[in-house]
A and B are shown apart, each in its own frame.
Chain A
Amino acid sequence: MSRRRTRLPLTILAAAVGILCAIPLLWVLTNSLRPGAETFGTISPLSWETFLTLTPNVDNYAALAGTSLGRGILNSIIVSVATVAVGLVICAMAAFALAALPFRGRSAVFSVIVLSFLIPFDAIAIPLADVFRTWNLQNTFTGLILPGLGNGMAVFLLRQFFLAVPEDLAEAARLDGLGWWGIFSRIYAPLARPAMIGAALMLFLFQWQAYVWPLLIGTDSEHILGPVALANMQGQFSVDYGLMFAGAVVLIAVPLVIILTLQRYFIQSVTTSGLK
């Protein structure tokens, strides 16, 4: 009886919280679909037109193409994709060694690798930027990509999955003449597909969301990344808010689409990271 009495208010509460969280995003989306000059005209007094438009147009998105924001978004895609491609191999190789190859001091090496990669990168970004400048890596894609290649959570997650692969399988493959690289790439990696996808997502998000590092190391017009280009816009004398919101929507939509598509693996990786 009491259940029924509490269910309606709780449903209303759940809906209210959900809508409240989504409203800023709806507002950003709507303003990306109308001219920048109208952004503030529709705010006060508040009306349905603040959050919705009946005359959407994609001019702002088309206009992104020639701007530094458009360039930044393109660079963000290049850097993130390259990081996933190279970083996934590096992390999976390390996880394979730590799961499938018994060697002395393995657990110590495991602790050192995971722990040092778990130290948040932003904390040491400023001294690293000085080091990279002396190595002439500022304003290069190498300099932007390098810090994203190792990821403690990814190594940790992949190792958990690799540990579950039966040792007999590797042994049988060895007897059939398969080398260690073959065992890794043809047996372990395919069997851990959900973890590989989860790890790829982590590597991608690290680069896509980065702000401190690209601000320190990649600020020329050819190597600027999306978030830095977006941040630069608001410092300018006259801001085209339509363009700014269109850029924000793209920078939000790319990870959102990936997260929603790979949600299954993401949740899986969250729950298998030893939190159960």
Chain B
Amino acid sequence: MTSTIAGRTRKVRRGYGRVALAFLAPAIVVLVLVRLVPAASALYGSLTRSSLLTGDTRFVGWENYAELLGNPDFRGAVGVTVLFTLIINPLQVAIAFALAVLFTRRLAGVRWWRSLVILPIAVPPAVSAVVWNVIYRPDDGLANAVLSVLGLPPQPFLTSPDQALAAIIVLLSWVGVGYWMLFLIAGINDVPGELYEAAALDGAGPWRKFFHITLPMCRRPLAFVLVADTVSNLLVFAPVQMLTGGGPEGSTNLLMYDIYTRAYTLGDLGRAQAEVVVLVLLTVVIVAAQFRMLRGDSEGA
């Protein structure tokens, strides 16, 4: 008796499994085609080298990785990417949070002003690069026209090794900050109002309320935004390719662009694939952290 019941449940289970597989199949096919195949191809390619003369491909093991480590362009790109990551991510999260706090206060026309900050999130990266390329023109660009009204001297922006990376950070923040602000506004709105009322009864001022209630209560959305923002900034490509070409003097040569030039300008596919593998491993680690944060709450709910 018991065994037949167990057998039947197992059968039902297996039945569900087959139905589930049918529903999952298209997603799994896409997943294999556009994620796993290229990942495997990059991994294999990173261990081989093709000769331009004969077209032969031979297995070279870790050689590409070792040579990459010693390559000055790659090391420069890693340095620029680390510097860029350490500046842009805290900066964008801090600005997005400050704006979220500002735009959740009861101020005249606050919804209108907030919508204006959100508008740029609709701008595709390549379009923002084209627009800011004109803004940053050294002789007749909009940015220098604004500076001259303020009585400031004109700046070289994208043509200066000291300013090009900062110019790209401003461009990216114009598009990005409004997006991250949306998540943080949702976080602030979820803080229970009673906490503020209790704090007000205790005589807490606005700064104390911010540091003792708003900031700690928003720790989760803040962490999520920081991680998600880091991933997206790790893959910045359009403004570098369209505005600076990694220059001047390699000052904006971010990893994604370095991979692109290594693969297509230098035709050094093996080492480009090795660099892709490094970049993918880096993003997988960060994305896994992001996924844990996405999942943590909802599984309990």
Interface residues of A, Cβ cutoff 8 Å to B: 2, 6-7, 10-11, 13-15, 17-19, 21-22, 24-25, 27-28, 39-40, 43-46, 50, 89-91, 93-94, 96-98, 101-104, 106, 109, 111, 113-128, 130-131, 146-147, 149-150, 155-156, 160, 180, 184, 208-209, 211-212, 215, 226-228, 230-231, 233-234, 241, 244, 248, 251-253, 255-256, 259, 267, 270-271, 273-276
- Nearest B-chain residue to A256, judged by Cβ: B122
B34 at the A interface (CB under 8 A): yes
Digitize B103-130: 1 where CB-to-A-CB distance is under 8 Å, 0 elsewhere: 1010111101111110111111111011
B161 at the A interface (CB under 8 A): no
Would A211 and B238 be within 8 Å (CB), given that A103-B16, A146-B33 are in contact? yes
- Report A-chain residues with C-beta under 8 Å of the C-beta of B238: 211-212, 227, 231
- Report B-chain residues with C-beta under 8 Å of the C-beta of A230: 126-127, 130
B172 at the A interface (CB under 8 A): no
Instruction: Check B38–A124 contact: CB distance below 8 A.
Output: yes
Digitize B185-221: 1 where CB-to-A-CB distance is under 8 Å, 0 elsewhere: 0110010000000000000011000000000000011
- Report B-chain residues with C-beta under 8 Å of the C-beta of A111: 291
Q: Which of B19-27, B55-63, B71-79, B83-91 contacts A (4 or more CB under 8 A)?
A: B19-27
A/B interface sample: 24 pairs, CB < 8 A: A10-B105, A11-B108, A11-B109, A14-B102, A14-B113, A17-B102, A21-B174, A24-B131, A44-B145, A44-B148, A50-B142, A93-B24, A93-B26, A102-B16, A116-B31, A117-B31, A118-B287, A123-B279, A125-B38, A215-B241, A244-B130, A255-B122, A274-B301, A275-B183
Q: CB < 8 Å: which of B140, B276, B295 contacts A126?
A: B276
In the bound assembly, the distance between CA atoms of A91 and B24 in angstroms comes to 9
In the bound assembly, the distance between CA atoms of A11 and B130 in angstroms comes to 32
Instruction: Check B297–A276 contact: CB distance below 8 A.
Output: yes
- Report B-chain residues with C-beta under 8 Å of the C-beta of A6: 206
Would A271 and B291 be within 8 Å (CB), given that A123-B279, A150-B31 are in contact? no
Secondary structure at chain A's binding surface: helix, strand, loop or mixed?
helix
Q: How far is the CB of A123 from chain B (nearest CB, A)?
A: 5
Q: CB < 8 Å: which of B30, B115, B284 contacts A146?
A: B30
Known: A93-B27, A97-B20, A274-B296. 9 other contacts (CB 8 A): A17-B113, A25-B123, A44-B148, A46-B148, A124-B38, A131-B38, A150-B34, A248-B131, A270-B186
Instruction: Check B126–A128 contact: CB distance below 8 A.
Output: no
Q: CB < 8 Å: which of A46, A119, A128, A251 contacts B287?
A: A119
Instruction: Check A273–B23 contact: CB distance below 8 A.
Output: no
- Nearest A-chain residue to B32, judged by Cβ: A116
Would A131 and B41 be within 8 Å (CB), given that A120-B232, A156-B294, A274-B296 are in contact? yes
In the bound assembly, the distance between CA atoms of A43 and B116 in angstroms comes to 23
Instruction: Check A15–B140 contact: CB distance below 8 A.
Output: no
- Report A-chain residues with C-beta under 8 Å of the C-beta of B82: none
- Report A-chain residues with C-beta under 8 Å of the C-beta of B66: none
Q: CB < 8 Å: which of A18, A231, A241 contacts B129?
A: A231
Q: CB < 8 Å: which of B24, B45, B142, B144 contacts A109?
A: B24
